[in-house]
Chains A and B, each alone.
Chain A
Amino acid sequence: MNHASPTAPCRLRINGQHYAADLPPSVTLLDLLRERLDLTGTKKGCDHGQCGACTVLIDGKRVKSCLVLAVSIPDAAVITIEGINQDGQLHPMQQAFIDADAFQCGYCTPGQIMSAIALLEEGHVHSREEIREFMSGNLCRCGAYNGIVEAIEHVIAQQDQDSKGEAA
Chain B
Amino acid sequence: MNVISAKIGQPVSRIDGFAKVTGQAKYAAEPHPPGLLYGVIVNSLIARGRIEAIHDEAARAVPGVIEVMTHHNRPHTALFEKSYVDGLGVPGSPYRPLHDAEIRFNGQPVAVVFAETFEAAREAAMLIQVDYERWPHNADFDAALYQKYMPSKTRSNYVPPKTRGNASEAYALNPIKIEGRFHLAPEHHNPMEMHATTVIPEEDGTLTVWDKTQGPQAVQTYLASALSLSGKKVRVRNPYVGGAFGSGLRAQHNVFLAALGAEMLKRPVRVTLTRPQMFTHVFRPEAVMDIALAADRDGTLQSIIVEGVTDTSRFEHNMENLVIWGLIGYKCPNATADYKIAPRDTYTSSDMRAPGAATGVNLFEMAIDELAWACRMDPLAFRRHNYSDIDAMHNMPFTSNALREALLLGAERFGWNERPLAPRSLRDGKELIGWGMATGIWDAMFSPTSARARLTSDGRLHIATAASDIGTGTYTILVQTASEAFSMPIDRIDIELGDSTLPECPTEGGSWTAASAGAAVWLACQSLCEQFLKLLKKNKNTPDWMKQDEITVAEGELHGVRNGSPVALSLQDALSFIGQDSIEAEETAKPGLRGKISEMRKARFTHSAVFCEVRVDEDLGIVRVTRLVNAVAAGRIMNPKTAASQVRGAMVMATGMALHEESLMDERYGRFMNHNFAEYHVPSHADIPEMDVLFVDEKDKEISPLGVKGVGEIGMCGTAAAIANAIFHATGKRHRNLPIMSGA
- Which of A's residues lie within 8 Å of B, judged by CB? 1-5, 24, 26-27, 31, 34-35, 38-48, 50-51, 53, 80-82, 85, 90, 94-95, 97-99, 101, 103-110, 113, 129, 131-133, 135-149
Residues of chain A within 8 A of B652, CB atoms compared: 142-143, 145
On whether the beta carbons of B62 and A1 are closer than 8 Å, the reply is yes
- Please tell me the number of chain B residues within 8 Å of chain A, measured between CB atoms: 69
**Shortest Cβ distance from B744 into chain A, in angstroms?**
22
A95 to B272, CA, bound (A): 31
Residues of the B chain whose Cβ atoms lie less than 8 Å from the Cβ of A41: 22-24
Contact A42 B23 (CB under 8 A): yes
Q: Is A46 touching B58 in the complex (CB atoms < 8 A)?
A: no
B505 to chain A, nearest CB (A): 18
B23/A105 in contact, CB under 8 A: no
Cβ B685 vs Cβ A136 within 8 A: yes
Q: List 19 A-B contacts (CB under 8 A).
A: A1-B62, A31-B118, A40-B30, A48-B275, A51-B275, A80-B23, A90-B21, A103-B21, A104-B472, A104-B473, A105-B241, A105-B243, A107-B191, A110-B23, A133-B685, A135-B685, A139-B677, A142-B652, A143-B648
Whether the Cβ atoms of B22 and A90 lie closer than 8 Å is yes
Contact among B61, B63, B688 for A145, CB-based, below 8 A: B688
Besides A4-B63, A5-B63, 15 other A-B contacts (C-beta < 8 A): A43-B192, A48-B678, A50-B275, A82-B22, A90-B21, A99-B13, A105-B191, A107-B191, A107-B193, A107-B243, A145-B684, A145-B685, A146-B690, A148-B685, A149-B685
Q: Interface segment, B119-127, B171-179, B284-292, B432-440?
A: B119-127
Chain B residues whose C-beta falls within 8 Å of the C-beta of A40 in the assembled complex: 23, 26-27, 30, 32
Q: Of B106-114, B417-425, B638-646, which binds chain A?
A: B638-646
Asked if B714 lies at the interface with its beta carbon under 8 angstroms from chain A, I say no
Chain B contacts with A in 683-701, Cβ cutoff 8 A: 683-686, 688, 690-691
Our pick among A45, A98, A101, A108 for the contact of B645 (Cβ within 8 Å) is A101
Nearest first, the 4 closest Cβ-Cβ pairs linking A and B are A41-B23, A143-B652, A107-B242, A105-B471
B1-31 to A contact mask, C-beta < 8 Å, 1/0: 0000000000001101111111111110110
Q: Report the minimum CB–CB distance from A134 to chain B (whole Å).
A: 8
The reply to whether B192 and A104 contact each other, CB–CB distance below 8 Å, is no
CB contacts (< 8 Å) of A110 on chain B: these are 21, 23
The interface of chain B, by Cβ under 8 A from chain A, is 13-14, 16-27, 29-30, 32, 38, 58, 61-64, 117-120, 123, 127, 190-194, 240-245, 272, 274-275, 470-473, 641-642, 644-646, 648-653, 676-678, 682-686, 688, 690-691
Given A45-B192, A105-B242: A143 in contact with B684 (beta carbons within 8 A): no
Q: Measured between alpha carbons, how far is A141 from B19 in the docked complex, in Å?
A: 19
Interface contact A98-B21, CB-CB below 8 Å: yes
Instruction: Check A45–B194 contact: CB distance below 8 A.
Output: yes
Q: Pick from A31, A110, A145, A148 the residue with the most CB of B within 10 Å.
A: A145
User: How many angstroms between the C-alpha atoms of A46 and B193 in the bound complex?
Assistant: 9
Chain B nearest CB: distance from A46 CB in Å?
A: 4
Picked from B13, B646, B677, B682, the residue with its CB within 8 Å of the CB of A104 is B646
Q: Which of B20, B61, B682 contacts A139 (CB 8 A)?
A: B682
Write the chain A residue with the least CB distance to B21: A94
Query: By the criterion CB–CB under 8 Å, are A141 and B23 in contact?
Result: no
Q: A1-B61, A101-B642, A110-B23 are in contact. Are A50 and B678 (CB under 8 A)?
A: yes
- State how many angstroms separate the Cβ of B294 from the closest Cβ of chain A: 37
Docked pose: A133 CA to B58 CA in angstroms: 46
User: How far, in angstroms, from A86 to B645 measured CA to CA in the complex?
Assistant: 28
* B21 touches which of A3, A43, A53, A113 (Cβ 8 Å): A113
Task: Tell me, rounded to whole Å, the shortest Cβ–Cβ distance linking B78 to chain A.
Answer: 32
Closest Cβ neighbor of B684 among chain A residues: A136
Q: Which residues of the partner chain B approach A103 to less than 8 Å between Cβ atoms?
A: 14, 17, 20-21, 471
Q: Among A39, A135, A143, A148, which residue has the most Cβ atoms of chain B within 10 A?
A: A143
- Is B648 in contact with A106, judged by CB distance below 8 angstroms? no
Closest to B15 in A: A98
Q: In the assembled complex, how far is the CB of residue A103 from the closest CB belonging to chain B, in whole angstroms?
A: 6
Most A CB contacts (10 A, CB to CB) among B192, B244, B646, B682 go to B192
Check B23 against A82 for contact (C-beta < 8 Å): yes
Given A47-B274, A135-B685, answer yes or no on A26-B21 (Cβ-Cβ < 8 Å): no
Question: Across the interface, which residues of A come within 8 angstroms of B683, CB to CB?
Answer: 143, 145
With A31-B119, A51-B192, A141-B191: A81-B23 Cβ-Cβ less than 8 Å: yes
Q: Which residues of B contact A80 (CB under 8 A)?
A: 23
In the complex, what distance in Å separates the CA atom of A154 from the CA atom of B275?
Answer: 33
**Within 8 Å CB of A142, what residues of B?**
192, 243, 471, 645, 649, 652
Do residues B22 and A104 form an inter-chain contact, with CB atoms below 8 A? no
Establish whether residues B471 and A146, one from each chain, have CB atoms under 8 Å apart when the complex forms: no
| B60 closest partner in A (C-beta) | A2
Q: Are the CB atoms of B691 and A146 closer together than 8 Å?
A: yes
Nearest B residue to A36, CB-CB = B117
B119 pairs with A27, CB closer than 8 A: yes
Contact B14–A98 (Cβ < 8 Å): yes
Q: How far is the CA of A123 from the CA of B192 in the complex (A)?
A: 27
Nearest neighbor of B691 in chain A, beta-carbon distance: A146
Instruction: Give the residues in chain B near A143, CB-CB below 8 Å.
Output: 648-653, 683, 688
